[in-house]
Amino acid sequence: MALLNGEITGKIHANSTRFDIIEDLTYNEDGSIKDRIETKIPIKTIIQELVHEYGNEHLHNIIINDVDDYGLELLEYRNDKEALYLGTDPTTTEITRFSLGSDFPFYYYDPGGSF
């Protein structure tokens, strides 16, 4: 474990690599990239592999509890002129962001019957 915390020069820096994805590339005949597929890796797997590889710990000795599968990315919006909205596309279930502009009228619907 001394290789993980830096006691014996084995520090892992946050900007050293992206541990959260596996990138699969397919190439065209001329060598250019045709397609790039990024697959997310669960946090438990990342921790287990880092402790096993860099900490030289056997897999049967590594016990990881109470960790979410994936982390959340922080989104920060710095425009004070117009509001930003998040919506879900019902066909793909992807979350998209959009802005209506500062001069767009906004109405709030109250299920109780008033506006």
**What's the confidence (pLDDT) of residue 76?**
77
Which region among 11-15, 36-40, 55-59, 93-97 has the lowest average model confidence (pLDDT)? 11-15
Residue 109 lies in a domain: no
Position 67 in a domain: yes
Q: What is the pLDDT of residues 25-38, one digit of tens each?
A: 888 889 888 888 88
Q: Please determine, for residue 98, whether its predicted confidence score (pLDDT) is greater than 60.
A: yes
pTM of the predicted protein model = 0.53
E-strand ranges in the chain read: 21-27, 33-40, 84-88, 95-99
> How far is it, in rounded angstroms, from Cα 55 to Cα 10?
9
Q: Are strands 84-88 and 33-40 parallel, antiparallel or unpaired?
A: unpaired
pLDDT single digits (tens) 52-79: 887 888 999 999 999 888 877 777 777 7
Domain that holds residue 51: 2-99
Q: Which residue has the higher pLDDT, 2 or 43?
A: 43
In-domain check, residue 111: no
| Mean residue pLDDT across the chain | 77
Q: Domains in the chain: how many in total?
A: 1
Residue 105 lies in a domain: no
